[in-house]
Chain A
Amino acid sequence: SAVISQKPSRDICQRGTSLTIQCQVDSQVTMMFWYRQQPGQSLTLIATANQGSEATYESGFVIDKFPISRPNLTFSTLTVSNLSPEDSSIYLCSVDGGSREKLFFGSGTQLSVL
């Protein structure tokens, strides 16, 4: 199993600012995934972050808005830039358990943009 620490757990930000979310895993993992869960909606994959390479973004998500760092095999950050109220959501970090059989999730970051 993998234990994921994600922080902050929640934040309230002003329009136009940025928020960086940190994800720390207690073991080395190849792939880390960032999801967004908008109110009343499903989890949507933002990007996949591999150590040592550029993140792979899903359709509708761009690096300028959601820059991701992956400096090592246990850590990643997601920045949500130039915030607008539409970015209010829960952001989740997840990792593959190693056998591709399950994803482990962090506790999420609840972002509210005023």
Chain B
Amino acid sequence: AQSVSQHNHHVILSEAASLELGCNYSYGGTVNLFWYVQYPGQHLQLLLKYFSGDPLVKGIKGFEAEFIKSKFSFNLRKPSVQWSDTAEYFCAVRAGGYNKLIFGAGTRLAVHP
């Protein structure tokens, strides 16, 4: 069965620090990969996605993620975080041909001014 692991449950950073959130998945075939974000009191929204092509994908608000097929990873990065990035971040995978998304447990990021 597919699964998604997010290694960090809670991350605390100061503004301007760099961010990297780990995400690994288990599925041997073609996958679509996503990062979703949930700001306090708001809906889940899509940050970025990878379907094919360039494994380095850029999303909204300066976020990017790199798909490394050999490591089954899709880590999220941002070079300099802001207080407004405080949120919960979810990695998700969809196995090719299926419709459902499998989510990781989420990482709560707190950015201190």
By a beta-carbon cutoff of 8 Å, the part of chain A in contact with chain B is: 31, 33, 35, 41-45, 48, 58, 92, 94, 96, 100-103, 105-108
Contact = CB atoms under 8 A, between A and B. Distances in A.
A102 B90 contact: no
Contacts of B106: 42
A84 B90 CA distance: 27
A100 B103 CA distance: 16
Interface stretch (B66-74, B79-87, B94-102): B94-102
B103 A43 contact: yes
Interface residues of B, number: 19
A100 B49 contact: no
Contacts of A102: 34, 46, 49
Given A43-B90, A101-B51, A31 B99 contact: yes
The secondary structure that dominates the B interface is strand
Contact of B103 (A31, A42, A96): A42
A31 B98 CA distance: 12
Interface of B: 4, 32, 34, 43-46, 49, 51, 90, 94, 99-106
B46 to A, nearest CB: 5
Given A101-B51, A102-B34, A45 B102 contact: yes
B44 A48 contact: no
Contacts of A94: 44
Contacts of A43: 90, 103
Contacts of B99: 31, 33, 48, 96, 100
Contacts of A107: 43
A71 to B, nearest CB: 20
B101 A45 contact: yes
23 contacts: A33-B99, A33-B101, A35-B103, A41-B105, A42-B90, A42-B104, A42-B106, A45-B100, A48-B99, A48-B100, A58-B100, A94-B44, A96-B99, A100-B32, A100-B94, A101-B49, A101-B51, A102-B34, A102-B46, A103-B44, A105-B44, A105-B45, A107-B43
